Structures are given as C-alpha cells and as structure tokens.
Amino acid sequence: MITEAEIDQYHRDGVLFVDNALTNEQLQELQSVTANLIEKSGRITQSNDQYDLDAGHSATRPRLTRIKLPHLLDPIFWQIVRSKQVLDLIKPLINSEDIRLHTSKLNTKEPQGGQAVEWHQDWAFYPHTNDDMLAIGILLEDVTEDNGPLLAIPGTHRGPILDHSKDGIFCGAIDPQDPLFTPEKALTLTGRAGSLSIHHVRTLHGSAPNLSDRARKILFFECGAADAWPINGNSSTYTGMSQEALWLKMQDNIICGQQTRQARLKDTPVLMPLAPPPDPTSIFKVQQSGGAVSAFIKD
C-alpha cells in the first residue's frame, strides 16, 4: 500500500520510485512474454505498428528500441495495469476511481548503444483538459547507472512546459541550452527488476544510451483521470479518430471505474506539439526526424 509520505513526495517532486512493486509471478510472466515478443521481431526488417527497430537489427540478433502498444499484443499487460499492485499505487496519486490508459510502450535499450531518449515532458506531446496523468515505468530487468536508467528532475511538474521545438518543428525534446534545464538536479531511477517508477505527466525526464553489456527493458503505462480529455491537435492515441471510434476506444481503455462525458478543465500551461515532425510514429522517430539536439551525445 502506498503511504501518505509517498503521496506527499509524488506531489512535491512529480516522481516516485517503488521497490519490488510486483510479485515474482507477475514479473516472470512479463519477462517471458516480452522475450517471446522480441524473438518474433526477428521476422521483420522494417519498423511497423508493433515494433520500432534499432540499428543493427537482424533475425538472429533482434535489436529494438520499442515494442509498441504491448497491451494490444498480450493479455498479461492489461492484467498488470489492472492489478491490485498497480491500482493501489496510482489511484491515490491520480486521486480518482476512474482511470483511463492513455498508451503503453515497452522501451528496450539493447546492450552497447541502445538509444538515448532526449529530455522531454510527456505533456508536451499530449496535453489534456487537466494534468492528473502519470507514467508508470516497470523495470523488467535490473536497471543500473550504466544501462540507461530513467532520469527525472524533481519539481519540474509544477513549472512551465519548456519549448520542445526546433526551427518551428516539434522535435519532442527540449533544447539542452534552455536556461530552465537543470540536469544536475536529476534523480537517477535505478533498481531491481519488478520495481517501478511513477512520474507526473509534466515532469522533465530522459535517459542516456545503454553503455553496458545488459539490455535495459522498461514497460511504460501512461494513464490518467478519465475526465482528462485530450486536446485536439495533440499527438495522442486518439488523433484523427471519428467521434464514434474515439468514444469506443476511450471506453476500451478504461483501467478502473468508468469513462465520463465530463471534461474537467484545469488551468495548466499548454504548448501544442506543432508543427508536426516528418515522422511522428514514436518518440525516437519524433526526436530524430524533428532534429532534436542531444543532451547526452556531444558532437
């Protein structure tokens, strides 16, 4: 069960780390399903709607940056996000009984070079009518300083949304020269497999390349209060849908409680993720095609 001190810490810092959050059985099943999905990716040679391939990918040695929308690929992912272990943590943080999944992704950083994720705020990609939203990051393998841990800067969820554009194009990353960027204050979210991190949708975060000889695999569920409605023009799961498709999808994506027609409006800073980058299909493609300047790799 989450403690009052952890709830206060989340509201103060916009980030929380919970050791050993899953049971051994949950972790082992996630690891085994993930290993199968990665093996299957060996059959493809180009990124598609399930996999984002990394340089050097081959049938015998699959290298991925991401398994996309894993909750659509195997029932275990829904079981985990709806489990008591997860709901007992997120309900008090979102402060709602009605919670909807925004999206899921399983980010893999392959040994010796798995890609960096440049510093960003998730809210810059998908602003909603209110910001009672967060990302859960479940560690599927041990995460250490040298295999590309998630880094997050406490308190940034209470500040502005920094500019995530380059030459007028949304590039999904802040400028490392932004005067409001203070990487020296970042927390490094390392821990044992089965632990998880939670960061608020406005918390500034990123991660360095994987320099170790061990893969780094983190399963992310992004979710929020069901009365947070996506703002048209954002880059969300719901972009470009008919009204009917959107309404059905929102109901399908309910984690607990119900989808409401109420949209709760909160005064939050919003910068729309426009103009769109040439390839908006994943954060890696947004950052590459939008021309993001790396904070991790110096020329």
Ligand X SMILES: O=C(O)CCC(=O)C(=O)O
Which residues make up the interface to ligand X (CB under 6 A)?
A: 105, 107, 117, 122, 150, 205, 207, 218, 283
Nearest-approach distance from CB 7 to ligand X, in angstroms: 23
3 state SS of 264: coil
Nearest-approach distance from CB 171 to ligand X, in angstroms: 14
Closest to ligand X by CB, 122 vs 131, is 122
Nearest-approach distance from CB 39 to ligand X, in angstroms: 21
Closest to ligand X by CB, 30 vs 117, is 117
Cα distances from 182 to residues 21, 148, 153, 196, 205, in angstroms, run: 29, 19, 8, 24, 11
CB 152 within 8 A of CB 189: yes
Closest to ligand X by CB, 81 vs 218, is 218
Cross-sheet strand order for the sheet of 150-152: 117-120, 205-207, 150-152, 187-189
Nearest-approach distance from CB 15 to ligand X, in angstroms: 12
Closest to ligand X by CB, 107 vs 129, is 107
Nearest-approach distance from CB 197 to ligand X, in angstroms: 10
Residue 243's contacts (CB-CB under 8 Å, 6 or more residues apart) are none
Residue 186, token pair as written in the block: 């970042």
Q: Are strands 64-68 and 99-109 parallel, antiparallel or unpaired?
A: antiparallel
Closest to ligand X by CB, 16 vs 150, is 150
Nearest-approach distance from CB 182 to ligand X, in angstroms: 18
Cα distances from 252 to residues 60, 97, 207, 248, 255, in angstroms, run: 36, 16, 31, 6, 9
In the chain, the amino acid numbered 74 is D
Position closest to ligand X via CB: 207
Tokens 């599927």 appear where?
A: 140
CB 253 within 8 A of CB 228: no
Closest to ligand X by CB, 134 vs 150, is 150
Distance, C-alpha 120 to centroid of its chain:
11
Closest to ligand X by CB, 114 vs 260, is 114
Nearest-approach distance from CB 283 to ligand X, in angstroms: 5
CB 124 within 8 A of CB 287: no
